[in-house]
Structure 1
Amino acid sequence: MKKNVVAVAGAMLILGGSLAGYADAGQAAEPKAKVLRMNMHSNPPTVDPGIAEDSTSGTISRAIFEGLTRLGKDGKVHVAAAESYTVSADGKTYTFKIRPAKWSNGDPVTAYDFEYAWKRALSPRTASNYAYQLYYLKGAEAYNKGTGTASDVGVKAVDAKTLVVELTNPTPFFTELTAFYTYYPVNKKVVEADKEWASNPKTIVGNGPFQIETWKPKHQLVLTKNQNYWDKQNVKLDKIDFSMIDDGYVELEMFRNGDLDWAGAPLSEVPMDFELSWKSPALFHTQAIAGTYFYRFNTEQAPFHNAKIRKAFAYALDRQALVETMLANHLPATGFVPPSMAVASGGYFTDNHTEEAKKLLQEGMKEAGIAKLPPITVSYNTSMGHKAIAEEIRDQWKKKLGVDVKLENKEWKVYIEDVHQGKYQIARAGWLADFNDPINFLEMFKDKNGGNNDTGWEHPKYKELLNQSALEQDPEKRKAILAKAEQILMDEMPIMPIYYYAQSWLQSEKVDGAILDGLGMIDFKYVDIKP
């Protein structure tokens, strides 16, 4: 049945391509629509920017919404929904002027939309796992944790065109944050009229370059150019047509047949054996990005409540062999913070240290009063890549530690919900930077109940160091503080770093202007299709 569904999807793409731009005899031919055809391996769990937390949801949110700022073609921050801004002398107050613009339904975009959206994301009722991204605002953390009120949060629409933001501490990267989707506005009227507004194309209203025309979950998602977008003259694409096929080899075959213009990152994966053998540099692209692939340990379940047992599993892994075998262009990770923002030179532990791993396992089991390890399960979401990596790690742990490991595959939405609820022992994870600063990685594990922690781990000294870093204005001193914090993270090992990301994809030569930034994100605003 799955093959039939895939075949039909491919046929639909072929048919759509053959009809585009066709005109009846005797009529002037209309310009051929510029359509980018891509595949995404998983259906976006949401396109609500206030609760989006995965790369697929984030990519679609970036296409249909826009923040106060946006990363440009040059990789630098530029004004977007804001036409200008000023910063106070102490670096703690930002005043944004909102440019004249409309929502996709014709409503005006105002400063009130931003105030509403930010406070909505922080509201405990919204339960946004990314709410902590707004903690730089004065009073934001207290409100999110139920000890403060919305009126205490440092964001205020003075009038329809003026937004004043007060920060707890000077935050040099704040305008990078305002380009991130948790900081996007939402239309209050639309949101409050229907709690399911973000799941129906008819009620999804955005202020970005595109809008959703069709959304058939697990089958197809189509974006069209937003004719109400303030900068529509610089948007070249008329449409983006996403298929949703989770088989990388089928996706690859569709690309080879001309049914897709793009295959691979950032919304899917090029099959690893293909990636290693590809010989066409004109079509094959790869670049290092600020991201880390790792495994979480559930520190509230035996046996991983013991730090030595966690470290034993981490130390037993031969990351270099893993990378050389199946992960071309990636780098083995012996720390959590990726090289683009590293706070310490070299790693925090030795890769493939089998004897030390065996010793730590024996000591940890003795401390925990465990004579024999319970069954160990590694969970991952559906992907050939995740499966292959899990199989290699399972085999290494069996060979080096004598541990039997079961692999558990789950559909993405079920998987991420189970991880949030602690229904796992070891779970695969990946973190791509939201902005290029180490705090974006380290703050994830500051609080046990933080939105994306999910390990059950918390450490008072670690928290203290992160708090110190927020007050330190000297860059080198701040870096040293963060290095101490990362050392604690690696000593306690609630997570096991595996490799630093590089993204690979195949891109048709007719696709122009596509930019994947250093964080691994694509902005469709600048993409064009050449004849």
Structure 2
Amino acid sequence: MNRKTLALAAIAGALTPVLAACGGSDGEGKDGGTVVVGTTDRFTATKEEPAPLDPAYTYDTNAWNLLRQTVQTLMTQPRGDGLPVPEAARSCSFTDKGNERYVCELRDGLKFADGSDVTAADVKYSIERSLGISAETGVASLLNTIDTIETQGTRSIVFHLKTADATFPYKLATPVAGIVNPKKYAKDKLRNGFQVDGSGPYTFKAAVKDNTVTSVTYVRNPLYKGSLKVNNSQVDMRVFEDADAMGSAIEEGDIDVMTRTMSPSQIQKLDTSSDDSVHLVEMPGLEIRYLGFDTHAPTVRTKAVRQAMAQVIDRYALVSKVYGTQADPLYSLVPAGVVGHSNAFFNKYGNPSVDRARGLLNAAGIKTPVKFTLHYTTDHYGTATKQEFEVLRKQLNDSRLFDVTLQGHPWETFRPAEQKGEYDVYGMGWFPDFPDPDNFLAPFLDKNNILGSPYSNTTIQKTLIPQSRRMQDRLEAARSLTRIQDTVAEDVPVLPLWQGKQYIAARDDITGSEYALNSSSVLCLWELSHGVSQ
């Protein structure tokens, strides 16, 4: 009989001061031996992206999950989700009523893996380094509410913010705020290649061939002090060419855990299998997929074209045909399960209608069919991506209002081209940096957004986003958040498609797999261990 674990996560709805960490014993856990983990995530250094693992540069879930095992942050998301808690810090809190002064006190005895002390000055150096380098990936924008950083002695760090930012504790839990060793990371220069040094629960060593990581070895860091309980002595991560090869490896016992990205057919097979040797863990997820637009491009510059696409696309048909029960239709950038979510696109467009879409185009004087190329990445979001975009093309073309061609690209060329504005219409995914509605809106709509989109709405940027960040109780921010989502549905600078669930497969003697991913897709390798078969 197949065993399927449903791991339920609690999505945060309010931010309050945090004074003590939970769940840790200064990093000491049982010795669960070596756990072997499989992934299809690709890690490649190129001329365009030479520093894929520098915290000041990378803004990618795959790379962030490597960094989180090695580079410590002041805060972290706790087991099972919820509000961020101190990690390298002993305590952190806002010290003013306006949420503009945030103070953290470091734990005693923090050391980098090379034995040198971690001080408040190192925290200041690391975060100012990310801000100063201001990489073109846009990752530094997560820290853009910081005005100045002050240290008091060797353990106290004071953040003075430009404006109220109730989400700031979450941002200090992201790798861009990771604490790096000044001896290993130059202040004004990225660290190219695949070396990572920090004070986190593991040390890091990558095997590399042709500028691509083939495997990673994580060894428990004996000097680690923090809130995370490390339940194994080593994790070996192996990179597979595709999901089928990874699936064969877990069936044969060559790996213990299978992570991102399993194919929909693999998940379905595991869900219905009678084999007890491998079990499937299903978790709520906040991953979203969407279409992005160059709103200055002639093909989609007119709002009516983008609105007509929103009116034609049938999300239910798309999801059921490609992903089945593994995803749900999405009608806003803010997914269901996050405080402030509203079905803004459904409220505006209702059910798919070719007639209503035709009316939008006719009213704007747009000649049909509207011709454009829909770009997608072939190797970043899983094996079903190609099928997903074929279904989208068919839906649009069957309306006779559009004439769409498809073009797939490897991620290493897709992402730089998208950021340079080379695509009029393109498909992307978003794994949140933290489970707050701000992180599904500001990255796409604020200045210097992650897409390099020319779309700019002054009311959103100068009024609504700042208003929402003043509210520690995120329910109180709902009015501003709803207005932002309604504006996105009207202007369609991005077009949300679906929201996915998360899955891990583990062999029967592995414990902790139900905690190995949280809702933000953070991979928590320290949770895994060899245990007693159940």
For the criterion TM > 0.5, the same-fold answer is yes
Q: CA deviation at 1:303?
A: 0.9
Q: Deviations over 1:29-76 (max 9, x none)?
A: xx9942322223311662212222111011001011111122232434
**Contact 1:84/1:97 (CA < 8 Å) preserved in 2?**
yes
What are the residue-to-residue correspondences of 1:299-378 with 2, within 5 Å?
299-327=295-323, 328-343=325-340, 345-349=342-346, 350-364=350-364, 366=365, 370=367, 373-378=370-375
Q: CA deviation at 1:338?
A: 0.5
Aligned to 1:242: 237
Aligned to 2:48: none
What are the residue-to-residue correspondences of 1:72-221 with 2, within 5 Å?
72-76=78-82, 77-90=84-97, 91-99=99-107, 100-123=109-132, 126-127=135-136, 129-137=138-146, 139=147, 153=148, 155-192=149-186, 195=189, 197-201=191-195, 204-216=196-208, 217-221=212-216
SS of 1:387's partner is: helix
TM-aligned CA distance change 1:526 to 1:79, over 3 Å = same
What are the residue-to-residue correspondences of 1:215-234 with 2, within 5 Å?
215-216=207-208, 217-230=212-225, 234=229
Higher mean displacement: 69-78 or 429-438: 69-78
Aligned to 1:488: 487
Aligned to 1:59: 65
Q: CA deviation at 1:111?
A: 0.9
Q: Which amino acid letter does the alignment assign opposite residue 442 of structure 1? A: L
Higher mean displacement: 224-233 or 332-341: 224-233
TM-aligned CA distance change 1:222 to 1:256, over 3 Å = same
Aligned to 1:144: none
Unaligned runs of 5+ in 2: 1-30, 46-51
Alignment RMSD: 2.6
**Contact 2:202/2:219 (CA < 8 Å) preserved in 1?**
yes
Structure-2 separation of matches of 1:448 and 1:86? 27
Aligned to 1:18: none
Aligned to 2:55: 49
Q: CA deviation at 1:242?
A: 2.1
**Contact 1:263/1:505 (CA < 8 Å) preserved in 2?**
yes
**Contact 1:38/1:240 (CA < 8 Å) preserved in 2?**
no
Q: Which amino acid letter does the alignment assign opposite residue 90 of structure 2? A: E
Q: CA deviation at 1:495?
A: 0.9
SS of 1:401's partner is: coil
Aligned to 2:528: 527
Q: Which amino acid letter does the alignment assign opposite residue 231 of structure 2? A: K
Residue 284, structure 1, aligned to residue 280, structure 2: yes
Greater radius of gyration (CA): 1
TM-aligned CA distance change 1:44 to 1:63, over 3 Å = farther
Aligned to 1:145: none
TM-aligned CA distance change 1:174 to 1:404, over 3 Å = same
Structure-2 separation of matches of 1:58 and 1:44? 14
Number of positions where the alignment pairs a residue of Structure 1 with one of Structure 2: 477
TM-aligned CA distance change 1:209 to 1:361, over 3 Å = same
Structure-2 separation of matches of 1:402 and 1:170? 45
Q: CA deviation at 1:344?
A: 5.0
Q: CA deviation at 1:466?
A: 1.8
What are the residue-to-residue correspondences of 1:448-463 with 2, within 5 Å?
449-450=448-449, 452-463=450-461
Taking structure 1 as the reference length, the TM-score comes to 0.83
TM-aligned CA distance change 1:374 to 1:319, over 3 Å = closer
Aligned to 2:8: none
Q: CA deviation at 1:442?
A: 1.1
Aligned to 1:11: none
Q: CA deviation at 1:81?
A: 0.8
Q: Which amino acid letter does the alignment assign opposite residue 70 of structure 2? A: I
Q: Which amino acid letter does the alignment assign opposite residue 421 of structure 2? A: G
Higher relative contact order (CA 8 A, sep 6+): 2
Structure-2 separation of matches of 1:343 and 1:417? 32
Aligned to 1:298: 294
Q: Percent identity?
A: 20
**Contact 1:226/1:232 (CA < 8 Å) preserved in 2?**
no
Aligned to 1:416: 415
Which structure carries more helix by proportion?
A: 1
Structure-2 separation of matches of 1:209 and 1:225? 6
Aligned to 1:13: none
TM-aligned CA distance change 1:439 to 1:86, over 3 Å = closer
Q: CA deviation at 1:113?
A: 1.4
Structure-2 separation of matches of 1:443 and 1:108? 36
Taking structure 2 as the reference length, the TM-score comes to 0.83
Q: Which amino acid letter does the alignment assign opposite residue 54 of structure 1? A: D
Q: Which amino acid letter does the alignment assign opposite residue 130 of structure 2? A: A
Aligned to 1:4: none
Q: Deviations over 1:80-134 (max 9, x none)?
A: 1112235314243222221221111221111111111111111255445111211
